[in-house]
């Protein structure tokens, strides 16, 4: 029973993080880079999309394992190594790329808020990863 409670706790955190990720996507779409930063902006957008894809797959996989009542050692390792880690790495890349985007002054505050949001997502992912590793 304790294991189920731990999984539910992680799932709630992951679902809350999904909302932050969706908001970050909308936020990024609302930022207009200067012409010289368009390529970096596109890299950020594609990296965010890929990271989101892996993270949403990770959340869905954990939900299915919880519903089946069957989070085995093998499925936990698959969850961490094949879904969560790629999402985490992409969000780390995004954090590094996003500081290279240049915007007009009108968007500078919005870009700073987005950078803070990405930082929050990365911190949350780190915490969730530690919790996933503790699930047995």
The mean pLDDT of 1-19, rounded to a whole number, is 89
Which own/partner contact pairs does 50-53 have at CB distance under 8 Å and 24+ positions apart? 50/86, 50/90, 51/21, 51/86, 51/87, 51/90, 51/91, 51/93, 51/94, 52/21, 52/22, 52/25, 52/87, 53/87
Q: Is the pTM of this model over 0.85?
A: yes
Domain 2-134 has CATH 1.20.120: yes
Other C-beta atoms closer than 10 Å to the C-beta of 29 total: 10
In whole angstroms, give the CA distance from residue 66 to residue 107. 42
Backbone angles phi, psi at 4, to 5 degrees: -60, -40
- Domain ranges for the chain, please list them: 2-134
56-73: per-residue pLDDT in tens?
A: 999 999 999 998 887 889
Enumerate residues 6+ apart whose C-beta is below 8 A from 99.
Answer: 115
CA-to-CA distance for 84 and 124, rounded, in angstroms? 12
Q: Dump pLDDT digits (tens) for 66-121.
A: 988 878 899 999 999 999 999 999 999 999 999 999 999 999 999 999 999 999 99
Distance, CA of 6 to CA of 134 (rounded, Å): 9
């Amino acid at each position: 029973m304790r294991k189920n409670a731990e999984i539910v706790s992680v799932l709630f955190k992951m679902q809350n993080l999904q909302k932050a990720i969706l908001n970050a996507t909308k936020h990024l779409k609302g930022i207009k880079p200067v012409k010289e930063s368009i390529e970096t902006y596109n890299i950020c957008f594609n990296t965010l999309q890929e990271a989101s894809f892996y993270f949403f797959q990770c959340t869905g996989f954990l939900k299915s394992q919880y519903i089946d009542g069957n989070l085995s050692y093998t499925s936990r390792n698959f969850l961490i190594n094949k879904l969560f880690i790629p999402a985490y790495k992409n969000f780390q890349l995004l954090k590094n790329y996003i500081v290279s985007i240049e915007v007009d002054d009108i968007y500078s505050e919005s870009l700073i808020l987005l950078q803070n949001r990405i930082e929050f997502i990365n911190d949350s992912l780190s915490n969730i990863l530690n919790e996933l590793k503790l699930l047995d």
